[in-house]
Amino acid sequence: MKRTGTPAALRVAGEADLAAIAAIAIATGQDEDWGVAFPAYIRFLIANGTLLVADRAGAVLGYGGALRIEAGAAPACMLTDLFVHPDEHGSGLGRAILGELWRDQPRRMTFSSLHSHALPLYTSFGVDAWWPLLYLRGDVRALTMPGGWSAAAAEPSRVASLELAWTGSDRSAEHQMWAAWPGGAGVVASLDGQPLAAGTIGGADSEFGICHLAVDATAASDADARDAVVAVLSWLDPPDGQARACLPAPHPGTRALLSAGWRVEEFDLHMTSEPGLIDPLRLVPSPALA
């Protein structure tokens, strides 16, 4: 039953909202590393993006986050999070938060969940669904390092400078954050000694895997984009052999992982105000931060 009376107000979130934000995430069924990765992620958004909460008489009822990132020719506003307490679903809070986050932001994108309110709500803000982002899980021991390829640990600053040179997008703050997660590290994958992919791995337990992997799109073929993913994953050594990678369904690595016995656990829908903000054939994006 919806609580009525005092209307909710939107305000910028701060450190003191961390526990209330985690409680909303839990109430909406999120499964996160609540001890390390989730607080670090929320602090990252407070420092580098926009994080809003809907508050009614001191009670946080929902939150939403956004981050401006270089995407193609210009910055785009990535909706990173939108979560409303289930008691309040359908009462307009999601629309109110999103309207504030995407105000004056014509280039918009997000990875939409399959919740029945999500896609219609986002569509009403002028974004369309283009491709699924597959949450793939499997055994890294089923993969072998492709011929000519190698992978090696790298400082987050090195990873970020390669990505900046290849894409024009400065993701140094993100790579620093991901590398500080449990199991986190920067990685560079090279073909015949030439770096073609750079990213960060990390995450606690079942979340462990590729956080984000960029490739040199001018030098890498479809086969290279596939092999870069396989190279990084086959280089991992998790205790149970299990890892995760979120691949755009059209990414050339998708078939390779599925044919090696990896499985699709769930998927989101990539929604944007125009096609081409993310290259689904090259980037392995973070589901939250792209």
For ligand COA, the binding residues (CB under 6 A) are 28, 82-84, 89-95, 112-113, 115-118, 120-121
Nearer to ligand COA, 4 or 218 (CB): 4
CA angle, 110 then 2 then 88, to 5°: 15
CA atoms of 51 and 30, how far apart (whole Å) = 18
Nearer to ligand COA, 201 or 269 (CB): 269
Nearer to ligand COA, 90 or 261 (CB): 90
Residue identified by tokens 């938060």 is 97
What is the number of the residue whose Cβ is closest to ligand COA?
94
Nearer to ligand COA, 67 or 93 (CB): 93
CA atoms of 200 and 186, how far apart (whole Å) = 4
Nearer to ligand COA, 65 or 199 (CB): 65
Query: Nearest approach, Cβ of 252 to ligand COA (angstroms)?
Result: 26
Nearer to ligand COA, 28 or 242 (CB): 28
Residue identified by tokens 């039953």 is 1
Query: Nearest approach, Cβ of 87 to ligand COA (angstroms)?
Result: 10
Instruction: Provide the β-strand partners of residue 264.
Output: 136
Residues sharing a CB contact under 8 Å with residue 210, sequence separation 6 or more, in sequence order? 199, 200, 201, 229, 232, 233, 243, 244, 245, 246, 284
CA atoms of 265 and 113, how far apart (whole Å) = 13
Residues, the chain, total?
A: 290
Nearer to ligand COA, 108 or 226 (CB): 108
Query: Nearest approach, Cβ of 103 to ligand COA (angstroms)?
Result: 15
Residue identified by tokens 């399959």 is 114
Q: How far is CA 132 from CA 71, 86, 106, 111, 185, in A?
A: 18, 25, 22, 9, 27
Q: What share of the chain is helix, strand, coil (3-state, %, to 5)?
A: 30, 35, 35
Residue identified by tokens 């809070």 is 93
Query: Nearest approach, Cβ of 88 to ligand COA (angstroms)?
Result: 6
